[in-house]
Structure 1
């Protein structure tokens, strides 16, 4: 059994120097910083809007502004919350267009760039592999209810969540494949979502499914599709951010 992390919740840190610290996978909800030096602080949370709790800076909730800026920066991102079949089809088409342009950019960078990591984050190749796994989880397993939906090239999180046990038991490849191999399967998964949405109607979207991470909880087909859209846009944002950093390295 893995050791439980130390809990520091509800603590008060008075005149402590935390400059340069990095918090990864930590629960910082409800944290209050008063009179702190926060110049250069970088925050990144994919659940900033979805949590409904906002992000208050000097008395101003900046979460809606951040969401608005991201929607302008990534055309089509705003469609990720659509609820009707036609809107979802447009949302997926926008995603495919965005990823096609980003992948073309990644392939134009020097050889080996797609396997480089920035600050310990997934490489572009690993991101593509993870999105294969995410589609297999939320469409293949949750919506289509397939017993074994996973392609061996998928890459699960290393947090013990969905797919991790299968990875440990050799379901997924551990040796890094080529980008061409990954893009082939990735293209198949994108087509799988496209084909599913082409035939989806309101009645299907309202049907109940089991949450693939917690089968005791119900999802709707719509919420599963929206999870796929959210996952895709967040990882696209990360990929563009890291490609910018890699390009700046020269």
Structure 2
């Protein structure tokens, strides 16, 4: 649909409609009923969302920082603050794992509304660490662990999906690999300097584009907090 061919909905009932991996960027809503509207926008922090003339993004971000202590450090630049940011994510995820452990057996593998299960979400964080730490920052020759969980669409980008294991590992196996990846990041940040963080690396997905090491670390922290929010949302849905 071209810029001059904009969809217009007048006096239409879209109640209960579900939009997944869709763009509503630049959409204009006037005189709309939004009771119960549920928006999940992972990149909201870098956007604007105007409701009745008020950009609500700063309000949402402040509330998420309140709910998740340490989240406000996800874009820290000082090595000491980055270490504190990592410690905060580790505490938050440890509490989430304890919560899953307290649920009936199999809760870690429950999918809510077709989303990843808790175990799959943790596996994706293994993958994210392998992409942005193992591959992009450390430039390891074989950065990917077989238990990592990638997005299916990466296959269309020429990504070698054969590196990943088939089948369903146990939750304990997933947590063991996850702990290894957390330790890798902890060890890296333990000796990181401002000079190292400023170094440039080929981007994980676009080698022709270079990004800073600090950018890669920020991506990891963004993944940590976003997926924790998803995981807790779905645990709440389990009851």
Partner of 1:125: 119
Q: Tell me how far apart the structure 2 counterparts of residues 162 and 198 of structure 1 sit (CA, whole Å).
A: 36
Map residues 44-123 of structure 1 onto 2, 5 A cutoff: 44-51=40-47, 54-123=48-117
The whole-number CA distance in structure 1 between the counterparts of 2:22 and 2:218 is 24
Q: Which ranges of structure 2 fall in alignment gaps of 5 or more residues?
A: none
CA distance in 2 between counterparts of 1:142 and 1:162 reads 20
Deviation at 1:159, TM superposition (A): 2.3
Q: Distance in 1 between matches of 2:108 and 2:158?
A: 23
Contact 1:80–1:229 at 8 Å: present in 2 too?
Answer: yes
Distance 1:110 1:161, change over 3 A: same
Inter-partner Cα distance in structure 2 for 1:73 and 1:161:
35
Look up the match of 1:11: 7
Secondary structure of the equivalent of 2:201?
A: strand
Question: C-alpha separation between the residues in 2 aligned to 1:176 and 1:7?
Answer: 43
- Take 1:161 and 1:28, find their aligned partners in 2: how far apart are those partners? 26
The 3-state SS of whatever aligns with 1:225 is: helix
**Could you tell me which residue of structure 1 aligns to residue 216 of structure 2?**
224
Q: Which residue of 2 aligns with 1:234?
A: 226
| Aligned position for 1:183 | 175
Q: Tell me the residue number matched to 1:212.
A: 204
1:7 Cα deviation after fit: 7.9
Contact (CA 8 Å) 1:210, 1:217: kept in 2 or not? yes
Is the 1:141–1:212 Cα contact (8 Å) retained in structure 2? yes
**Structural RMSD (CA):** 1.7
- 8 Å contact from structure 1 (residues 157, 164) kept in 2: no
The 3 A distance-change label for structure 1 pair 29 and 58 is: same
| Aligned CA distance change for structure 1 residues 195 and 163 (closer, same or farther; 3 Å) | farther
TM-aligned CA deviation for residue 18 of structure 1: 1.5
Q: Counterpart of 1:3? A: none
